[in-house]
A = this chain, B = another copy of it.
Amino acid sequence: MKEIEPYIRVTQYHETDQMGIINHVNYIRWMEEARVDYLEKIGFGYEKAVEAGIDFALLGIQCRYKAMTRFRERVKIYVFVKKISPMRITVGYEMIGENDGKVRFTAESEHCYYSSVKNRPVRLDRELPKLYEKLLAYCEEAEIRQGRAE
């Protein structure tokens, strides 16, 4: 199974703070950007889920800030499916500086699948079986990735 290319992000001036580094709040946004980019890359754009009335509602996040980033750096954000079930998904993130190869940030986000039509969490395998199968397939891949990283 082919490796998923990371999401490339260039840090912006408006993302800096007065410590002279990128403010940590932005990393949370990049997680979302990278997750959406990942879904597109595995072949199921998030906008299709949204159009079908399904959102990945956030239940929790865990983040570790390992090393700072500065204005006009390029970072690579690797996304992987850590755990998935019909009701829940846990997505992992690893952010690496393109110039130095150093890990800057790692994170996890846990989501349920929320139907804006039914106004409650739903089973993804019933609502969007194609997306569910894709994520399931990549989850196995993810486990291998994790194994390699550790």
Which residues of A are at the interface with B, using a C-beta cutoff of 8 A? 12-14, 16-21, 23-25, 28-29, 32-33, 36, 45-47, 50, 55, 57-65, 71-72, 114, 116
Q: Establish whether residues A20 and B18, one from each chain, have CB atoms under 8 Å apart when the complex forms.
A: yes
- Count of chain copies: 4
Q: Establish whether residues B24 and A12, one from each chain, have CB atoms under 8 Å apart when the complex forms.
A: no
Distance of A145 Cα from B119 Cα, bound (Å): 35
| Shortest Cβ gap from A26 to chain B (Å) | 9
Distance of A20 Cα from B55 Cα, bound (Å): 12
Q: Establish whether residues A36 and B19, one from each chain, have CB atoms under 8 Å apart when the complex forms.
A: no
Q: Establish whether residues B17 and A16, one from each chain, have CB atoms under 8 Å apart when the complex forms.
A: yes
Q: Establish whether residues A72 and B36, one from each chain, have CB atoms under 8 Å apart when the complex forms.
A: yes
Cross-chain contact of A13 among B14, B17, B116 (Cβ < 8 A): B17
Distance of A69 Cα from B33 Cα, bound (Å): 17
| Shortest Cβ gap from A20 to chain B (Å) | 5
| Shortest Cβ gap from A79 to chain B (Å) | 14
